[in-house]
Amino acid sequence: MTETYNPTSDAPQRAPLAKCEKHGLHYDPTKMTGCVLCRRESSPAADAPPVPRRSLLGPFLVTAALCFGAGLAFYLLHGAVANLFPGSASTPEVPQLTAPQQQQLDQALRELTGGNPTGMTSGIEGGLPTQGTPPE
């Protein structure tokens, strides 16, 4: 004996579908009372007023004010916190020169400026070359 397999005979039988007269959609009347659109229209959420859109300006301004305040606090407190650690002073300490050191520095300055301590020269004899003259 040979048996033939018929997949439609093993499949569960579907209930007949009803067609919505208003929208033309099919639905199973044993599981639902109407089509999807009818049920959506009859839900209480459809009667609720729409939620108004809120502006983001307020939260943005609050965030900007908090960031500005935090930045200002860090700026003002930076010097106080930096001075707590040794060697991190904002102005470096320069030792005062002794009289012989100051004289030696003044003499070196006079030698470099050619006796004119106020006017420094570039150190190039004859000035800078111009565009028309080739360098030597």
On whether residue 89 sits in a domain, the answer given is no
Average pLDDT of the segment spanning 49-75? 91
On whether residue 55 sits in a domain, the answer given is no
Bigger pLDDT: 33 vs 94: 33
On whether residue 28 sits in a domain, the answer given is yes
pLDDT band at 4 (very low <50, low <70, confident <90, very high): low
On whether residue 30 sits in a domain, the answer given is yes
On whether residue 100 sits in a domain, the answer given is no
Structural tokens at position 18: 């009803």
- Give the domain extent around 40: 16-44
In which element (H, E) is residue 38 found? helix 36-42
- Indicate the SS3 state at residue 27: strand
**Domain total for the chain?**
1
Predicted TM-score (pTM) of the model is 0.30
pLDDT, residue 7, reads 56
Judge contact between 27 and 36, C-beta under 8 A: yes
On whether residue 82 sits in a domain, the answer given is no
On whether residue 20 sits in a domain, the answer given is yes
In tens, the pLDDT along 123-133 reads 555 555 555 55
In tens, the pLDDT along 10-48 reads 556 777 888 888 888 888 888 888 888 888 887 776 566
